[in-house]
Amino acid sequence: MIRRLRVATLMVGLGVSVAAVAAAQGPDGAALFERECVRCHNGAAESRAPAVDVLRRRSPEAILASLTAGSMRPQGGRLDGAERRAVAEYLSGRALGGDVSGIGNARCRVNPPLALAGKPMWAGWSSASTNTRFQPAPQAGVTAADLPKLTLKWAFGFPDATSAWSQPTVAGGRLFVGSQNGTVYALDVQTGCVLWTYTAAGGVRTAPTFGSRPGSSAHALYFGDTGANVYAVDADSGELLWKRRVDGHPFARVTGTPTLHDGRLYVPISSLEETAANQPGYECCTFRGSLMALNARTGDVLWQTYTVGLPQVMGTNAAGTTLHGPSGVGIWSAPTIDVKRRIVYAATGNTYSGTAAAPTSDAIMAFDLATGVVKWTRQLTAGDIFGCRAGAPNCLEKVGPDFDFGTPVMLTTLADGRDLLVVAQKSGMAYALDPDREGRVLWEYRAGQGSIWGGIQWGAAVDREFAYLPVSDIRLDTPGGLHAVKLATGERAWYHAPPPLACGGGAGCSAALISAPSLIPGVLFSGSNDGALRAHSTTDGTVIWEFDTNREFLTVNGVRATGGSIQGPGPTIVGGMLFLNAGYGDHMGRAGNVLLALEVP
């Protein structure tokens, strides 16, 4: 706010109109606080939120961190990056350094047209819409023999971020990535210079999905944000093509990467209402998850199928607050396309409230691609009602285990030609399902003990022989460990125990494997909460290469950036390069804000 006042004074002195000055100043932090925050931060005796005079003692960086990754992230998710900055500067009375985009001097001198011919790509959450996270050798351009030569080529720092949480997408010599403050970047893959930026209305943690723009020879980028908005922007210029609010609930968000197929964009919808349910006076709970199909050219809704029925009033809690149910059953991960059966699969989360858990919760659901009609549902954990933390006023006497599916369904084909659905859960269990028998369980395997942060949290990987299962179990005494399971039988092929920690100890320094792994022939890449990315032999799990992100990096855009815990997205491997986001200042991780590009010279 201080910086904007100085700029405004200078502009008025130069004879610039008051209207132009107002536009140049950007969002009004005081007005935003009054609109979005004062209801709780009003100093009233019954409010547990800190009053304004208490907030004024904090730094703008601390306030911004709370809005992006801390206790206020549901509220901050409804603001864009510039608005969060404005609130932080207003409350603290001090200016943040740099600008919201963090481009610095990293703007590319030219922006040549997108060129796809002959260039490999990784176009979304996975290299293909089957979500196996396997990159074939011709696309990867990296082999096991190349790993000793893999070195850092450039680093890019995300401003206003405590987590680097959007997996990079690569196509046509460009890298596309979102950020915690809502800026979406198109970077040159060779240099990291910025071709263009787009500012979303909320933080973008989905991987951008790249694909053809229907009805045109051009290409588009599709992504969602923490305010439950979905966007299509031109991949060449970053120009907005369309924007669609996909859910009106105040805590709804798009966490899972949208999947593009045959001119349709399949969008999973989740929420953070579980966090809000901890607040005294909150009427828990009214969100319900859904899967939506949008016309990729226009953004028009083709169908939307909810995972749970409409919530009804269910009485009051001990404090007299009205309760609602059923609710919840969000979809946290990317939908998976089954072209042969004309089905899109989605893995669901827990029920938030109600007298019984919805039969669609903690389940795999199969939707008709064209209509959204549910073809079948296979529930893998029953009775999971988890709308808040134990001891909060909206909790039931017995809280469910919170065994969401944070990982997508993986569709693979065995050597004998049989198709298999492989799914991994926060319970620590993995399953193989038969897609031709309504998801009948063929085998199950216990990889971890399970907890609210995994178990198996954000991803697994499969090839034609094994399923690879990284274990979090972050809240337990012995987190981590990597399992390979035979797809044909569900038997363990090998297990690799957690290696020595790369971090130096302290909070968030653990061996938990929370991020999604990525595969190339013969090699599995797995990022750890200790800040290291390790390459394992798929034959026996041996670590054959390691990269430690626990340091500060010199960035091409001049933003101060460090590595940290690797959670959420995994590495993107394409065209002889490996791209990795490091840093996760939430869920018992360690903060960081860097995108790394490694290359085989």
Same domain, 56 and 151: no
480 and 567 fall within a common domain: yes
Domain boundary among 67, 92, 117: 92
Which of 558, 575, 593 has the alpha carbon at shortest distance from 107?
558
Q: Angle, nearest 10°, between helix axes 2-13 and 18-25? A: 160
Q: What does the pLDDT read at residue 305? A: 98
Among 43, 71, 92, the domain boundary falls at: 92
What are the structure tokens assigned to 59, written together? 């730094």
Distance CA 140, CA 294 (A): 31
567, part of any domain: yes
104 located within any domain? no
One domain for residues 84 and 139: no
* Domain identity same for 449 and 493: yes
Which CATH number fits the domain that encloses residue 42?
Answer: 1.10.760.10
175-224 pLDDT tens trace: 999 999 899 999 999 999 999 999 999 899 999 999 999 989 999 999 99
Q: Which residue has the tokens 């796809």?
A: 116
CB neighbour list of residue 15: distance below 8 Å, 6 or more residues apart:
none
Residues 55 and 160 in one domain: no
Q: How far from chain centre, in Å, is Cα 241?
A: 23
Angle 527-530-532 from CA coordinates, rounded to 5°: 45
CATH number at residue 148: 2.40.128.630
Q: Indicate whether 485 belongs to any domain.
A: yes
Q: Which two tokens stand for residue 17?
A: 């109109």
Which pLDDT does position 92 carry in this prediction?
84
- Whether residue 135 sits in one domain with residue 18: no
Inside any domain, residue 186: no
Determine the residue type at 396: L
Same domain, 63 and 16: yes
pLDDT at 220: 98
Per-residue burial over 243-270, b = 16 or more CB atoms within 10 Å of its CB, e = otherwise = ebebbeebbbbbbbbbbbbeebbbbbbb
Residue 181: C-alpha distances to residues 33, 570, 601 (Å)? 18, 20, 33
Give the CA distances from residue 286 to residues 14, 274, 488, in Å, rounded to whole numbers and listed in that order.
52, 10, 41
Q: For position 1, what pLDDT does the model report?
A: 42
Please report the pLDDT score of residue 13 as a whole number: 44
CA-wise closest residue to 124 among 332, 334, 342, 408: 334
User: Residue 43's pLDDT is what?
Assistant: 65
pLDDT for 54 equals 59
Report yes or no on 270 lying in a domain: no
Instruction: Please report where in the chains the tokens 């107002």 appear, as a residue.
Output: 22
> How many domains does the chain contain in total?
2
252: which strand partners?
A: 271
**CA gap 471, 164 in Å, rounded:** 21
Question: What is the C-alpha separation between 243 and 250, in angstroms, rounded?
Answer: 17
**Domain assignment present for 330:** no
Task: Check: CB of residue 284 under 8 Å from CB of residue 387.
Answer: yes
The secondary element (H helix, E strand) that includes residue 445 is strand 440-446
- Greatest Cα pair distance, the chain, in angstroms, is 77
Evaluate whether residue 107 is within a structural domain: no
Instruction: Print the SS3 string covering 355-418.
Output: CCCCCCCCEEEEEECCCCCEEEEEECCCCCECCCCCCCCCCCCCCCCCCCCCCCCEEEECCCCC
Q: Which of 3, 114, 77, 420 is nearest to 270 (CA)?
A: 77
Find the length of the chain.
601
Backbone phi, psi, residue 33, to 5°: -65, -40
Task: For residues 474 and 595, state if they share a domain.
Answer: yes
Which residues of the chain carry a pLDDT beneath 50? 1-23, 45-47
- Based on the number of CB atoms within 10 Å of its own CB, is 492 exposed (0-12), middle (13-18) or buried (19 or more)? middle
CA distance 459 to 514: 8
Same domain, 446 and 545: yes
- The verdict on residue 304 lying in a domain is no
- For residues 157 and 11, membership in a common domain is answered with no
Q: Are residues 154 and 28 in the same domain?
A: no
Domain that holds residue 39: 2-92
Q: Are residues 421 and 565 in the same domain?
A: yes
What is the chain's alpha carbon radius of gyration, rounded to the nearest angstrom? Answer: 23
